[in-house]
Amino acid sequence: MHRRSEATPLNLLPALRTHVWFASCPEDFQVALVERSSLLHLSAGETLFKSDEFRDGLSCVVAGALKLGSMSPHDGTHRLTLYVEPYHWFGEISLIDRLPRAMLAVADTPSTVLVTSRVQLEAWLDEHPQHWRDVARLAGSKLRLMTVALEDSASLSLHQRLARRLLFSAVNFGQVVAPSGLRRHLRLPQEYLAQMMGVSRQTVNKALRDMERERVIALHYAEIEILDLDALLARVGAIDPNLMQMFTGVAPAGGLQPLR
């Protein structure tokens, strides 16, 4: 299939800066990323890259959503690990270690992805080596999230884990710049939630129905609406104060302990 692509316009920069990591990068690095990239348009179900491929550099979802995960060796189904939406950056690990991709990336809906040229980006980074630290910061933020998810699985109840997953999805896993970026309508099918949490769809459905009866959320087709943010926050337990400020728009109250 011939993929339709186009040069990335610099007027996309303000939208890209709604992502915490990108906004924190020096402007020359931001411009270098955009100038060494193109916008790739994918149809629903189209693959951006497969595991074990070695191609491209950093990528960022600009429109739509991608499913990242592995392929089951038993039945060939896609096992979902992460659901990425605008303006989520990924691909930093392969850029750093120069090893093939670890996951399969498939468009869940018609999507547009900013894809940087690995060759051009590496050449620029080698000329400006101080910005390799910015790439490492992106990888570090993902590692922290993975560590939190592992600890949550071992220590929290299903309802707490589900509440956290919904909150993190509402702020793109803590990566939106301002409280105004919090989304109350989440395109997150229950099947996807179940796969990412490692439980059955029936288990997730029962927990969501409990929250719906309590008017915390409303369930729609392939979408979850957050009705009562305070009630959802009350279900997550102790949480990073910086994330709490992102959810509420105000400084967190005393007594909340950071996850990290």
- For the segment 224-253, what is each residue's pLDDT rounded down to a tens digit? 999 998 898 888 877 666 555 555 543 334
**DSSP structural state of residue 214:** T
Least confident of 27-31, 42-46, 69-73, 140-144: 69-73
- Average pLDDT (15-28) is 92
* SS3 (DSSP) at 202: helix
Distances from the Cα of 245 to the Cαs of 17, 60, 131, 161, in angstroms? 19, 25, 28, 19
Structure-block tokens of residue 162:
């589900």
* SS3 (DSSP) at 156: coil
Strand residue runs (E) in the chain = 4-7, 37-42, 47-49, 59-63, 66-71, 78-84, 89-90, 104-107, 111-116, 185-186, 217-220, 223-226
Gap between the Cα atoms of 257 and 212, Å rounded = 28
To which residue do tokens 């992106």 refer? 138
Residue 55 has pLDDT above 90, yes or no: no
pTM metric for this prediction = 0.81
